Amino acid sequence: MKYALVTGASRGIGKAVALRLAAVGWPVVINFLSNKEAAQQVADEIAANGGVAELLPFDTSDPKAIEDALEGWEAAHPEDWFGVLVNNAGIRRDNAMFMMSDDDWHSVLDTTLNGYFYITRHLLKHMMPRKRGGRIINMASLSGVKGLPGQANYSAAKAAIIGATKSLAQEVGPRNITVNAVAPGFIETDMTKDLPVDDLKKMIPTGRFGKPEEVAALVAFLASDEAAYITGEVININGGLYT
């Protein structure tokens, strides 16, 4: 059986992606760090709608925790593999650079960028031998496309994800694996609730923040067979704020 792994899937965009992939038939593995209750609620919602979901907790900034979790899952599922990987986990630690601590810099890059590397490297070893290949979808950001003040760490991590997406797409294209990035703008999630929403809406041509479900719909398309000829792309979903 082919599974989809969604990191950071207990809330926000990750939750919406997990629900959408399950709705179109993917068995989903829900990664989370600490909020087991929220992750279980996502799994229960999937099951209530006839889908299949499992929980897989690990810290995306910890390479040993990643290896242990993935190897444990593979040992328990000897006939199964991940056909879709959605690298969604990420954190924000915003501050002006001259006030940014070492920890704020490294924690954001470790969780968002290094986690992408460790997880993707591991799963590629199993994805590449499969004739039907796979789908890797990386969650970038408006911040990584154009940069945002106060987010030097987050912008650096997301911009690096974009570069890695383009590079990896060329490496694994011959193996029928596509690699794309989705770059959301301002989306209604916990990560944006502390922003000046009314002021920011005035900057967005569509006049509103996006919904997690709208991002999830794009991810589900990129995971589908219909998107087999799309790879190495960064698709902005930002209401026209930056194109």
Give catalytic residues, as residue numbers.
154
Closest CA to 142 of 155, 129, 131, 130: 155
In 3-state terms the chain splits into helix, strand, coil percentages (rounded to 5) of 50, 20, 35
- Residue identified by tokens 């916990």 is 190
Partners of 178 in the β-ladder: 135
| Distance between CA atoms of residues 67 and 71, nearest Å | 6
> Which residues, at least 6 apart from 79, have a Cβ–Cβ distance to it below 8 Å?
1
- Do residues 155 and 107 lie in contact, with contact meaning Cβ atoms separated by under 8 Å? no
Q: What does residue 33 show for φ and ψ, rounded to 5 degrees?
A: -100, -60
| Distance between CA atoms of residues 111 and 158, nearest Å | 11
Closest CA to 187 of 146, 157, 215, 145: 215
- Do residues 28 and 52 lie in contact, with contact meaning Cβ atoms separated by under 8 Å? yes
